[in-house]
A and B are shown apart, each in its own frame.
Chain A
Amino acid sequence: MTMLLEPWWLIPLLLAALCGLVCPLLGTLLVLQQRVLSTNLMAYAVLPGVVVAQALDWPVLLGGMGGAMGAVLLAERLMAGRPAGSGQAEAVLNTVLAASLGLGVLLIQGLDLPVDLDDLLFGDLLAAGPADLLRLLAALALLLLVLGMRFRQLQWLGLDPEGAADIELPLQGLRLMMAALTALVVVSATAAVGLALVMALICAPALAALNNARGLAQALARAAGLGLGMAIAGCGLALIFNLPPGPLIACACLALLMGRRAFNAT
């Protein structure tokens, strides 16, 4: 009854729901474009960007996106010329990922900033405010706009990048746009699920949705629905049992994958 009279849980629940929509929508595109590992790198590279932004009193969104974009561009530069399929690209991405995390921790200690590393890594829905909600709403609006205006080009990018180059689609521009969108979504989702856990919400609903999907639009709709369910379930359980929502949402995502597999088996 107290919960209904004092709806302090409304913003966290709305934030979780928005996260549950945005992350899987983006994740479906990223899984199909085989960009999951670089997205994981971007998630961790948000950390040093956010720390620098706090030190310089810049907007967190700007710092986080700068860190993520800087890291992915650095990784792409280091990967250039390495043979495709040799595993070297993955090694480069993982090295930059680890270094980004290390740099973030070093900056926190070196600059002696009052940054709560746990909140950044695992999220803290209950401490989130309207600004976080607006950021996620903006990310969702932008993502839907891109999907509406560039749906066909995004299909090419995931289905046949070489073919897309053959018909002279602006591949570099599209990839840069996807990277910027990914950085925006990851930074915006930090408050809800944290940098370390956001990948679960990006990947799991997309994986479950892609199973036997007949088209990209269907996969996107399914992923958004599943993500919304996982996020609300995780957040609801966290509120009821007084547990951290980010880890619960991540565990709900794993349960979704396991459930999907069991369903397929039967």
Chain B
Amino acid sequence: MDFPLLQARQLCFTYGERPVLRDLDLELGAGSCTLIQGDNGAGKSSLLQLLHGRLKPSAGSVHLAGRPLRGQRHRLALVPQTPSLRWHYPISLLGLVALGCSSHPERSRSALEQVGLADLAQAPIGSLSGGQRQRALIARALARQAEVLLLDEPLACLDAASRIQLGALISALTAQGTAVLLTAHGELPPTLRGLRLLRLQHGQLVAQP
């Protein structure tokens, strides 16, 4: 039997007393690229964290390849809008990226090249700009060869050239079979192709033309 790569069923989430998501259904196939838009506070970041297993739903379930997430979370990578990573930590960019894939050092260099940060491989992570940090986290996810990439506002801190570069990277990743789910505001780079557009409103996802 064929299962979607990532599947959320009847997902509910309540923040304090406020219901954020209500009976939300979502399926991501391998190689798909899905963009979720919505107003501030609509629950986009919460949805990404629920799909990644960082948050627990008040009801409903998330399955990866037909099985519960537990024990498989390493197959997903979340790049949050405000990462908890301690950027003052004494480690180089290459060290950060390599931390998740110790047995494959070549993957780290290749991931840095993909996000355009190869020149900064030996730089301490504390010296990176906001946009570079975002790309560093994407490189870490790439080095881990995550099958599902969840990107929360990945375009937010980037200049125009970097947005175009990231759009092209996401398109290339989906072409290789990675499922990408991202949230974004405003204009999208033209290099981001084959998008399925969804809007999160009143706790549910609605398809957009």
**A residues neighboring B (CB under 8 Å):** 32, 34, 152, 155-156, 158-163, 165-168, 210, 213-216, 218-219
Contact = CB atoms under 8 A, between A and B. Distances in A.
Query: B74, B77, B90 — which one has the most chain A CB atoms within 10 A of its CB?
Result: B90
B155 interface: no
B36 interface: no
B102 A159 contact: no
Interface stretch (B91-99, B158-166, B179-187, B201-209): B91-99
Given A159-B96, A166-B52, A215-B90, A152 B102 contact: yes
Contacts of B124: 214
B73 A168 contact: yes
Contacts of B96: 159
Contacts of B144: 167
Contact of A168 (B71, B83, B90, B92): B71
Chain B contact residues, majority secondary structure: loop
Interface residues of B, number: 24
Nearest to A213: B90
Given A159-B85, A159-B99, A166 B74 contact: yes
A166 B90 contact: no
A241 B91 CA distance: 42
Contacts of B76: 166
Given A166-B73, A168-B73, A168-B74, A159 B89 contact: yes
A219 B90 contact: yes
B18 interface: no
A32 B52 contact: no
Interface of B: 52-54, 71, 73-74, 76-78, 83-86, 89-92, 95-96, 99-100, 102, 124, 144
Contact of A210 (B84, B90, B99): B90
Contacts of B52: 166
B84 A161 contact: yes
Contacts of B100: 163, 167
Given A155-B99, A166-B52, A167-B74, A160 B85 contact: yes
A190 B86 CA distance: 32
A119 to B, nearest CB: 37
15 contacts: A32-B86, A32-B90, A152-B102, A159-B99, A160-B85, A161-B84, A163-B84, A163-B85, A166-B52, A166-B73, A168-B71, A210-B90, A214-B92, A215-B95, A216-B91
Contacts of A219: 90
Contact of B99 (A34, A156, A218): A156
A160 B84 CA distance: 6
A215 to B, nearest CB: 6
